Structure 1
Amino acid sequence: MAGARLETDVVVAGGGPVGLALARDLGRRGVRTLVLEASDGTVTRPRTATVGPRSMELLRRWGLAGRVRAAGWPGDHPLDVAWVTALGGHEIHRLRLGTCDERPAQPWTPEPGHICPQDVLLPLLAEAVGTHPGGPLRRLCRFDAFTEHADGVTVTATDLGDGGELTVDAQYLAGCDGSSSAVREAAGIKAPDRYTTRVLRDIVFRAPRLREQLGPRAALLYFLTRPPALRFPLRALDGRELYRLLVPADGAQGLDAGALVRAAVALDTPLETLSEHVWHLTHRVASAYRAGRVLLCGDAAHTLSPSGGLGLDIGLADAADLGWKLAGTVAGWAGPGLLDSYDTERRPVAEAGLEVARTHLVRTLRRELPAALLLDSAEGKQARAELAEQLSGSEVRREFDCPDVHFGHRYTSPLVVPDAPERNPGPAADDRRPRGRDAWRGEALPGGRAPHVWLADGTSTLDLFGPAFHLLRFTESVRLTAFTAAFARRHVPLTTTRCPDRRVAACYGRPYVLVRPDGHVAWRGGELPFDAGTLADRLRGAR
């Protein structure tokens, strides 16, 4: 590739889960994309494991949810969270969350969360993007720098295989290159620490007989309550033999990884330490998500505590928001405000997620762990009972079972039209719909995720959304032709569905609901507007 020069629409720097998800979204919208990834794609330190329900919905849209579910996590493995003195030691408290095979269906989503470690998820995404020679994904290709000019960016990269230089001309550059983002630095965007950085030891080990020996005591996640160092989670990675242990670097000085693993596991079982890394837990949100033709996505834009498992979910939702906006801009139908809205809509979500995750982390850090917890005596039994009472009376369940966090955020931006007072709210009027924090469960609120309802043909309402703006109609209007023509004149993609289902109408709350390509509600009303062009211009960022 020495001295090669290429031309594309969007360069994505970083081939992790978020960069590949963005490339997948762009590719399905017909946008030419080149992904530059410095590694060879091998995951030596699997981090992400829990894929939240909203992320699974996005993977469903990208045609990958089924493959994630079939990727190997055992359907009978408990998804429980347990607080223990050690694996096989005293159990203090347990959240019973069932198994993937047996947990009840959730009425608000067709895609409950799933377990898929990064070393499994990444190859699935890479294959979907395209790994063939000359394809969109270029591994062992390091982003070096960019220059911006009036009609695009020029990116320079190095082929780490032969040392040659690659030059790429593109319209936009998306930085998906992680928490130490070279793109963010080159763009001059700051991402200051919001809280003190914590240094952790990240240990992966193999225990091939552990699950069998634990039997009904097995869990997905174990919070160790072994003072002073073992208070962070130990989690099952593959549901079979791989586990991950986090230990504060300053709380276990002098103990090697093997000794820490043996302290965390009370059973006589074979243990093999596979790797240890130093990990810096940071809390950052970039000061801006856009600088000209450069946009940040995923960990390049935000890093937060893994408590609650929100990092990947926020990153994939970044990709879903940015994808359609970049596609509209490349296609020429977007107004100048469309890409600006990416920052307006997504940065508050990251800031809120950071605080939620921080709350969970602080709860773990401040939990008192008296030495008596480890005693096989009446004193130890009493200490464990007191901690169990504290845990059962706290909000620890919200760290692992919080659908409002995954589904409840609503965008506030010029691209979202608030509800106007309705003289006739139509067939959806229903005082039994959830209100307040849980309103997302039963109503298509402007700025919010369009709700899931099963349709008569076995598909979900969510399956209607994605390629274009989509107008759901629960009644007829003489203004429909003018409405669709206004979008067509502006080349804004629009599809419509006449839905006779009263259950869907009751959930969506108005006779007409317009859903954006990212699945969020843009507008709804009791009648289509007289001036549909004004609405179309607002939604494409031209007003």
Structure 2
Amino acid sequence: MDVTVVGAGPVGLVLAAELALSGAAVQVLERRADPDEAMKAQSINVPTAEALDRRGLLPAAEQVQRELLERVGSFAGAADDRPPGAGRPAPERRFTGHFAGMVLSPDLVDWSDPDLAAHAAVDGARMVPQPQLEALLADHIARLGVPVRRGVEVTALEDTGDGVRVDTTAGTVRTGWLVGCDGGHSTVRRLAGIDFPGTDPELTGYQAVVDIADPEKLAGGWTWSTRGAYRYGPQPGRVATLEFDGPPAGLPHARLRSRGGTPMAPVTLEEVQTSLRRISGADVTLTALRAAPTRWTDNTRQAAAYRSGRVLLAGDAAHVHPPFGGQGLNLGVGDAMNLGWKLGAVVAGWAPEGLLDTYDAERRPLGAWVLDWTRAQIGVLRGDAKSAALREVVADLLSTRDGTTYAVKKISGVTQRIDLPGDHPLVGRFVPDVWLRDGSRLVDHGHDGGFLLLDRTPDGAFARLAAAWAGRVSSVSDDHATPTGVLVRPDGVVAWASDTTDIAAITGLEAALHRWTGAQTSSPAHEPVS
């Protein structure tokens, strides 16, 4: 195999798909015999939804959201009865999320904000829980012919310089590259000797879907007490608890799920009930578990390096933090999209190994920001008097239009930016919704995973230049408008953009093509710019 991916969660599946689209021979190893049905992230952010959109998976994600809204609406007494395809969700149906348990009101969001308005095409595909996302992605890689070998655990590895020897419970694997997407307890990270510095846990949380004999004893939404906080809803039977008295005794300091490393003891119904009773003060009775519950802490760490030779890390293997807002899932998918095309280019031979250095350089700052964003929520959530006072201040700020809009933009991911060369405001950002004269969007033309070039010049000058990179860059022509040209990397990041058609624009595009798409595949269709 060119690449072996360890871990069949969303991050590993996305990475394997991107590698397959680049032409690499890739396989996935997963120590679990069956897909993980544990309670995890309940939503995805805009960059993740747009990643699905770029690969033609938006309709499937929208169907997941419609089904979820039907269940939640029924539970809340406000079912969404709009027919499928009825258009963008109404404001009250748009996903906003929460900050430290303080739900952000969609009525306070300025939906006309340019950052939000520019990424509205995926509004109907944000409420996608992780199990459904994994099922969707599993179908995707099956169509691409990527094998997933379940029940196989990595036990040792050796970077031989020209590849990696991997010992597993099913025998030895020889692979060109190895990527650990195997969670916070990452075996790959440990065997590669990559340090994992950060801050130790102080809190314990649980998530579960349960049958409740006496649900009237619980308040809806988030509720605080001196012992912690709990949430009931919005789905029927969904409960979450957060205890302020430290991590569970005797459990390793990590995001406490059975994800790589030593399997943790399963969370029991009694454990969830005890936590819920302790925090709520109500003698509530839980009668059954409807989904595999999870146990977690606020352990927060980031790998000292995302790459060591021919071994790389992505997702929770590279960073762990409290799971508020599903930020870990989204951060990991972003890692996979960024790494996938770059590693694929190195395997294909049209990019040098040095391209992989940009993976750590581009993703590490975003990872550090997410760690601090979740740390801040822990500071607001704790049960001491100082945190309670801070929570009141933050709640007051989040009751304003500006405050709510700011938080929603951060949570949604629409403000994410990578530091890339270029002065245009789109450079380094995820490409916005760009509608074309034929009614399609620019991303509709990029399902094969290559580079996309939008050419709005009167004479097709940008497309003629990009023809020298045929097979890697697909050009899409459109009526003249601004921006006049946009070059989009396979991960959705804008590598170059211009509002003009002059020599400076041509020179900038040529530099971006050389920087990101390697050597020309054919002779240029224009005279070189001097």
Q: Deviation digits for residues 74-104 of structure 1, max 9, x if unmatched? A: 34536687999xxxxxxx9864338xxxx99
Taking only the aligned residue pairs, the percentage that are identical comes to 29
In the TM superposition, 1:126-141 aligns within 5 A as: 126-130=138-142, 136-141=147-152
Give the direction of change, closer, same or farther, for the CA distance of 1:115–1:478 in structure 2 (3 Å limit).
closer
Distance 2:283 2:204 in 1: 26
Choose the corresponding residue for 2:307, options 284, 290, 295.
Answer: 290
Partner of 2:82: none
Contact 2:49 2:126 in 1 (8 A): yes
Residue identity matched to 1:521: V
Give the direction of change, closer, same or farther, for the CA distance of 1:224–1:541 in structure 2 (3 Å limit).
farther
In the TM superposition, 1:320-335 aligns within 5 A as: 320-335=337-352
Distance 1:306 1:201 in 2: 10
Partner of 2:106: 97
Which protein has the larger Cα radius of gyration, Structure 1 or Structure 2?
A: 1
Matched, 1:312 2:329: yes
Partner of 1:281: 298
Choose the corresponding residue for 2:474, options 481, 491, 495.
Answer: 495
Choose the corresponding residue for 2:276, options 254, 258, 261.
Answer: 261
SS in 1 for 2:167: strand
Distance 1:96 1:324 in 2: 37
TM-aligned CA deviation for residue 541 of structure 1:
6.7
Partner of 1:225: 224
TM-score by length of 1: 0.73
Distance 2:98 2:213 in 1: 19
Distance 2:147 2:343 in 1: 17
Choose the corresponding residue for 2:9, options 16, 19, 25.
Answer: 16
Deviates more, 1:117-126 or 1:270-279: 270-279
Contact 2:97 2:408 in 1 (8 A): no
Partner of 2:127: 115
Q: Which has the higher contact order (CA 8 A, sep 6+)?
A: 2
Choose the corresponding residue for 1:244, options 240, 244, 257.
Answer: 240
TM-aligned CA deviation for residue 272 of structure 1:
2.7
Give the direction of change, closer, same or farther, for the CA distance of 1:261–1:25 in structure 2 (3 Å limit).
same
Distance 2:179 2:147 in 1: 14
Matched, 1:521 2:494: yes
Show structure 2 runs of 5+ residues with no match.
77-94, 250-269, 520-530
Partner of 2:259: none
SS in 2 for 1:407: coil
Matched, 1:453 2:451: no
In the TM superposition, 1:380-529 aligns within 5 A as: 391-394=395-398, 397=404, 401-403=408-410, 406-412=413-419, 416-419=420-423, 445-465=426-446, 467-477=449-459, 479-480=461-462, 483-488=465-470, 493-500=472-479, 502=481, 505=482, 508=483, 511-525=484-498, 526=500, 527=502, 528-529=505-506
Choose the corresponding residue for 1:539, options 513, 516, 521.
Answer: 516
Residue identity matched to 2:443: L
Distance 2:143 2:42 in 1: 23
Residue identity matched to 1:174: V
Residue identity matched to 1:234: R
Choose the corresponding residue for 1:186, options 185, 191, 197.
Answer: 191
Contact 2:462 2:485 in 1 (8 A): no
Distance 1:81 1:322 in 2: 27
Distance 2:186 2:239 in 1: 28
TM-aligned CA deviation for residue 410 of structure 1:
1.9
TM-score by length of 2: 0.75
TM-aligned CA deviation for residue 258 of structure 1:
2.1
Residue identity matched to 2:53: R
Matched, 1:272 2:287: yes
TM-aligned CA deviation for residue 252 of structure 1:
10
Contact 2:5 2:178 in 1 (8 A): yes
Partner of 2:59: 66
Give the direction of change, closer, same or farther, for the CA distance of 1:260–1:153 in structure 2 (3 Å limit).
closer
Residue identity matched to 2:126: H
Give the direction of change, closer, same or farther, for the CA distance of 1:257–1:484 in structure 2 (3 Å limit).
closer
SS in 2 for 1:470: strand
How well do the aligned residues superpose, as a CA RMSD in angstroms? 3.9
In the TM superposition, 1:359-370 aligns within 5 A as: 359-365=376-382, 368=385
Distance 2:17 2:347 in 1: 16
Partner of 1:172: 177
Contact 1:225 1:369 in 2 (8 A): no
TM-aligned CA deviation for residue 209 of structure 1:
8.1
Distance 1:81 1:144 in 2: 39
TM-aligned CA deviation for residue 204 of structure 1:
2.1
Give the direction of change, closer, same or farther, for the CA distance of 1:366–1:464 in structure 2 (3 Å limit).
farther
Distance 2:136 2:329 in 1: 15
Choose the corresponding residue for 2:137, options 84, 103, 125.
Answer: 125
In terms of fraction of residues, the more helix-rich structure is 2
Q: Deviation digits for residues 41-85 of structure 1, max 9, x if unmatched? A: 34353111121122111122233333233233134536687999x
Give the direction of change, closer, same or farther, for the CA distance of 1:247–1:116 in structure 2 (3 Å limit).
farther
Give the direction of change, closer, same or farther, for the CA distance of 1:529–1:335 in structure 2 (3 Å limit).
farther
Distance 2:138 2:360 in 1: 27
Residue identity matched to 1:59: L
Contact 1:203 1:246 in 2 (8 A): no
Contact 1:451 1:462 in 2 (8 A): no
Contact 1:81 1:223 in 2 (8 A): no
Residue identity matched to 2:440: T
SS in 2 for 1:50: coil
Residue identity matched to 1:97: P
Contact 1:320 1:518 in 2 (8 A): yes
Distance 2:446 2:425 in 1: 13
TM-aligned CA deviation for residue 236 of structure 1:
3.5
TM-aligned CA deviation for residue 283 of structure 1:
1.1
TM-aligned CA deviation for residue 405 of structure 1:
5.9
Contact 1:450 1:519 in 2 (8 A): yes
SS in 1 for 2:241: strand
Deviates more, 1:464-473 or 1:355-364: 464-473
Contact 1:19 1:35 in 2 (8 A): yes
Distance 2:146 2:474 in 1: 31
Give the direction of change, closer, same or farther, for the CA distance of 1:74–1:334 in structure 2 (3 Å limit).
same
Partner of 2:318: 301
Distance 1:50 1:181 in 2: 24
Q: Deviation digits for residues 464-511 of structure 1, max 9, x if unmatched? A: 3462222212213575476224424xxx60111222163xx2xx3xx3
Distance 2:381 2:137 in 1: 33
Residue identity matched to 1:171: G
